[in-house]
Structure 1
Amino acid sequence: MVEVGKYNTLKVLRAVDFGVFLDDSKEGILLPKRFMPANLKPGDEITVFIYHDSEDRLIATTQKPYGIVGDIVPLKAVSVTKQGAFLDWGLMKDIFVPKSKQLMAMREGGTYIVKIYIDEQTGRVAATEKIEPFLSNDTLTVREKEIVDLIVYRRTDIGYTVIINGKHTGVLHFNEIYRNIQVGDTMKGFIKTIREENKIDVALGVPGYNRVGGEAGKILGLLEAAGGFLPYHDKSDPDDIYAHFAMSKKTFKMAIGQLFKQKQIEITDHGIRLPGQK
């Protein structure tokens, strides 16, 4: 069966001037021509995302939404009506958040953390800001040192509450943060500690970096947060180094020298990077 709001691999039934119809065991689902890869023909199989168009018909696309049914994601509001808000989720048609599924009135331009679901009455993909019932630490699916996906959920007195893998909540303490972050940011991290009552502390980066203390650990955290590369090295301007790392050039050079000797980073003519990064 075709799963609405998710990726499906379907066979091409027939071609028409405006696209192809994909086999759904019924009359077929249209994949518009503008989303077709070159040379797609009847009998081929293709992986597509299925959702309802503005006329309530199932339609296929090769566009990739920012989230599928079951995901918790930060999305930006592009328009607001009396009935609810429409959020940009990466497709031509925006996703709808009913007024009853909002915590407070959404505003155009705001970013909101929502869960994507199927509305039982309409069968359409929709979103809700009321995600607390979907988050629980009663039964954990993660363990210490495991790399996880994090969404910054809210700021607290000790750091930030984060959503872990769309299932659990944890705390990212202020002393573990090496760059500016804000609610809605997504990033990689790892489970640092699981405490009593399944309370979780997380850290940015990957396990092992926490063994490198002080300024070296800070540089590794910033590197990981930047995707593995930063355009700074021992010949960079001292003011640029201080602005990004909040440390002197001398301290920076000593720290990257330590990391290089430990084979935790590579130093190039253009900057520093994690091993294996391009």
Structure 2
Amino acid sequence: MSSELLAGEITQLRVARIQEYGYFLTNGYEDVLLHKRESKNHYEENDNVKVFLYHDHEGRLSATETMPLVTLDSFSILKVVEVKHSLGVFVDVGIQKDMLLSKDDLPYDWATWPAIGDELYCGLKLDKKQRLFADLSKFEEIQELSVNAPAECKNAEVEGLVFRLLDDGVSILTGEGYLAYLHKDEMKEPVRLGQRLTMRITFVREDGRVNVSTRPLVKEARLEDSDRLLSYMMERDGEMPFTDKSDPEAIKKEFNISKAAFKRAMGKLLKEKKVEQKDGYTFIKS
């Protein structure tokens, strides 16, 4: 048995002595406290106890009989319970103390950080000072969980967890186990690391991975966008300084949709005779 007790270990230790507030456990070289609130049983001296070692809120090595959801050699889906931009995010690992995922392991942009309630594929790791941290799972680890998607699942609706941010999109593992790629142009709105998304499969690749979109189908989008334009005009006395000839950049800035999507939505409203256009304005027909 090693003479050094390390955080992150699951190990069997002997009760060396008993105090009112807990048990001091030993491996024969070093002692650690198992507080009574972390103990599940009553012990006598020389009893053996299986414990998980971690650092308490004051940085002291401590023991608990509660086994964590993850270890130094495993990973799982962990829930984010706290966000501190100065430190990182804290995840629930199943013991009394939540584990920090350092800001050094998170994206530079806070807007893409996980929010409270989001979920991350994480394990545990020790830094150079033997401090215990949460550790984001690597792509290769998550890839081992995946299965190939069948060709017939194209256009199917799936739900998945964002586990990696890329320059032009994100990687997702769906509930079915498909590795999915969501390009930024196919995002209805920006997404976060650890966010759960509902998506539509747009393409099944030969390697069994899929491309997905959070945008609605064109027909659904046209209905949705036309309703938005009507609401926009209603809030502005039934008019707006935009038509299907307006500048694409101005349309994108105001409505966050492309000129083509704007024209489709406007075409629907014109066809239904709900609006009319004149002198660079669109009006709701009375």
TM-score normalised over the length of structure 1: 0.48
The structure having more radius of gyration, on CA atoms, is 2
TM-score normalised over the length of structure 2: 0.47
